[in-house]
Homo-oligomer: A and B are copies of this chain.
């Protein structure tokens, strides 16, 4: 009916938002680069803001998402914990399938 597209935001909640598209995007980038600093930079977030977000997320989720690797020849970096990886993988699968389904329904109705 119009030249329109669908927009969506999806998140997990438990007495408020727990984890959603924004944090997922950040963690995917951490996984890719092995560095929170690099990940934050890519999305225009300061390093301290990114740490603050991570702390908030970890408090809400009740488990640790990132392990900080200190030192070494590469000067350290950040890697996802096992539970962090699991969360990112699940959200990734969910988000991809959800996007496909939402677009299918969008085309059906609009």
List residues of A whose CB falls within 8 A of some B CB: 1-14, 17-18, 20, 61-62, 86-87, 90-91, 93-94, 97-98, 101-102, 105-106, 108-110
Contact of A4 among B1, B14, B108 (CB under 8 A): B14
Quick one: closest B residue to A97, CB to CB?
A: B105
A8 contacts B8, CB within 8 Å?
yes
A18 partner residues in chain B, CB cutoff 8 A: 2, 4
Contact of A6 among B6, B13, B108 (CB under 8 A): B13
Once A98-B105, A105-B98 are accepted as A-B contacts, the answer to whether A7 and B10 lie under 8 Å apart by CB is yes
Contact of A110 among B4, B6, B61, B90 (CB under 8 A): B90
